[in-house]
Structure 1
Amino acid sequence: MSDTHKLIVDVDTGIDDSLALLYLLASPEAEILGIASTAGNVPVEQVAANNLNWLALCGAPDIEVALGAREPLVIPLRTTEETHGPQGIGHAVLPDSGRKRSVRTATDLWVDLVREYPGQLTGLVTGPLTNLALAIRREPDLPSLLKRLVVMGGSFNYPGNTTPTAEWNVSVDPHAAKEVFDAFSVVPAHRRPIICGLNVTESIEMFPEHVRRLAEAAGSTPEEIISPDDGPDVRSSASNSVIRHMSDAIRFYMEFHREYDQGFLAHMHDPFAAAVALDPSLATLKPATVDVETESPLLIGTTVADWVGHWKREPNADIAVSTDPAEFFDRLVHRVGNYARVVG
């Protein structure tokens, strides 16, 4: 846990992507070398703006934020403002950072960083895999140059959240996901990608009590209470600016989950993947050969795992199959709460 992890983070920010960034910023062992923005939850220009604005709000260093793919490789882009709000950050309205995007593209960022830090860089992707697929086309040795890849995506022996069988990130660009999983078939077992799918991430259920604990850890006042009885115009009055904006974002996410009969909660898919990128022992992993359906109109975007070797192909991924959500939230509250106390 004390070793430094050099990271490239590829996101479609996004409410839970936002909290994943905060988790990494709050983790002393995380060194973010670059942030690649991709279209997904919202269009890519808004994703990049969200990244820059979160960095500025936290007083973070000028981490390079690169603009990535505007469209998936083959199919048209779908965004999900109904899930994440018109700007991708729920009810939150972040101050304009005034910071500038990188002159490099996200593809250039991926390729340049893996070449600069061969065998040292961990890639974390919490959005569609478009940027990474394009980078691999540019640098076919990228999977071997990367220390490890962690992906939030897919769903294994578990329903989808976008179609009956497909998870959002993969369904946005299934062709990119297939290219990436195929490309990583060459890496040795100890460097296989770690895949955090819905089968685990939907157990990471954030409730209002978690937000209250975060605010308490940050020393924010008054007590931060998100209530299902609040009206649609209620906003946080937290004294801590990080907590205030984070709470307004999460409130929207909880309202969305309730609207779709999942309860007044929020699935924190991406912060969990960020935590696993820093400490894989947080999840129980099981090797499998993963492929993605790209042709069937009924099943497009479905991730299929061969656990027992039916395809006679070596495993190309380690799939997270279980975790301890309470342990994850203890880490989240401690790290992000204390970080917000200092910067907010």
Structure 2
Amino acid sequence: MKKVWLDTDIGGDIDDALCLAYLLRQPACELVGLSTVGGEVEQRAMIADSICKVAGRHIPIFAGADRQLLPSDLYPTPGGAVNLSLFPHDTHFRKYEAVDRMRAAIRAHPHEISLVGIGHLTNIALLFSLDPEIPTLLKELFIMSGVFSEALEQSLNMPQDNWNAWVDPHAAAIVYHANVQHMKTFGLNVTTKLVLEKQEKEDLFHTDVMRAVESFGSPWLADHPMTFHDPLVAACLFEPDLCDYQRGHIEVDFKHEQKFGMMSFCERADGRHVIASAVDRTRFFEHYFSVVCG
């Protein structure tokens, strides 16, 4: 049984909710806590709590950092919150509580907690800055971020598409400079292979939990495809062979405005960072469906 803490900006892209549904259904997962990050964090916590309640689970949930480390006009909001009235949820969440709770959980269970970061990394950077010993006390840190593809980096939507690093590059730089013994990163070069068309799994949203996921993700799905960025990160905690990997070193650009958040990877046998380099799409979806729909 793995002890997992999920740090998420749930409420926008549906993939965060798809990831949470997986962790709630994964029999080998003990979800010890969940924290929200990035604009209206209290409502994001309510969305997460709604999904957990539909699943019949009581998970400790804490609202985290509402703003980036440095002043920014960018303030993302959770579009999925428009459907909160459809589901029971607690409303007592307060901003900026998450870091203290994460710290307490990791210190109570040294070398046991797998921290999964699927939003921008402000909460985790604050945690590492507050208590520099914490990175050495984690079992592992799995992150959805980065591009790691020259072709994708030439896209007109870069660097913004690298959202989790671009929205708070200083936080990303702090996290990637920390002394975490086991860190894996899953970038767009791999996760963009996991687009699922509705006709490929028409019964995906037939359970109560998945209907809640679809409801909170409906504003996103109105204008975007469904891509399983974040669920891949969670699935690889339990089935690492779903991906191939490379070891090396990651640097995050936080100095040049046109490259904010760009993550460069240099392959090195002695590197501290591991990135996913390929994914078995068929095996991933078979695994995901077996857990969530089984």
Matched, 1:246 2:213: yes
Q: Is the 8 A contact 1:6 1:33 kept in 2?
A: yes
Query: Residue type of the partner of 1:16?
Result: D
Question: 1:85 maps to which residue?
Answer: 79
- Corresponding residue for 2:158? 164
| Residue of structure 2 equivalent to 1:96 | 88
Task: Quote how far apart the aligned CAs of 1:106 are.
Answer: 1.0
Return closer, same or farther for 1:8/1:322 CA change in 2, 3 Å cut-off: same
| Corresponding position of 2:53 | 56
Contact 2:42 2:94 in 1 (8 A): no
Q: How does 1:300-311 map to 2 (within 5 A)?
A: 300-308=260-268
Q: Where in structure 2 are the equivalents of 1:134-149 lying within 5 Å?
A: 134-149=126-141
Deviation string for 1:114-155 (max 9, x for gaps)? 111111110000001111111111211111100000001111
Equivalent residue, structure 2, for 1:72 = 68
Q: Which amino acid aligns with 1:129?
A: L
String of CA shifts for 1:64-103, please: whole Å, max 9, x gaps.
111110101014163455xx6352x8x7864131364489
Partner SS state of residue 223, structure 2? helix
Distance of 1:153 and 1:290 partners within structure 2 = 11
Letter in 2 for 1:46: Q
The CA RMSD over aligned residues, in Å, is: 2.4
1:129–1:180 Cα contact (<8 Å) kept: yes
What does residue 281 of structure 2 align with? Answer: 325
Alpha-carbon distance in structure 2 between the residues aligned to 1:94 and 1:148: 36
Aligned partner of residue 295 in structure 1, secondary structure: coil
Structure 2 CA distance, aligned partners of 1:281 and 1:201? 15
Give the equivalent residue in structure 2 for 1:175: 170
Q: CA deviation at 1:296?
A: 0.8
What does residue 6 of structure 1 align with? 3
1:165 deviates by 3.6
In 2, distance between residues paired with 1:73 and 1:102? 18
**Gap runs ≥5 in structure 1:** 221-239, 258-264, 339-344
Write the distance in 1 (CA, Å) between the matches of 2:79 and 2:63. Answer: 21
CA distance in structure 2 between the aligned counterparts of 1:251 and 1:135, rounded to whole angstroms: 32
Equivalent position amino acid for 1:323 in 2: V
Deviation at 1:302, TM superposition (A): 0.6
Q: In the alignment, is the contact (CA less than 8 A) between 1:285 and 1:322 conserved in 2?
A: yes
Q: CA deviation at 1:210?
A: 4.0
- What whole-Å deviation, never above 9, does each CA across 1:264-287 have from its counterpart, x for those lacking one? x31111111111122222211101
Name the counterpart of 1:228. Answer: none
- Give the deviation of 1:7 after TM superposition: 0.7
| Displacement after TM superposition at 1:51 (Å) | 1.0
In the TM superposition, residue 324 of structure 1 has moved relative to its aligned partner by 0.7
Q: What residue in structure 1 maps to residue 41 of structure 2? A: 44
Give the letter aligned to residue 247 of structure 1: E
**How many aligned positions are there?**
289
Percent of residue pairs identical: 28
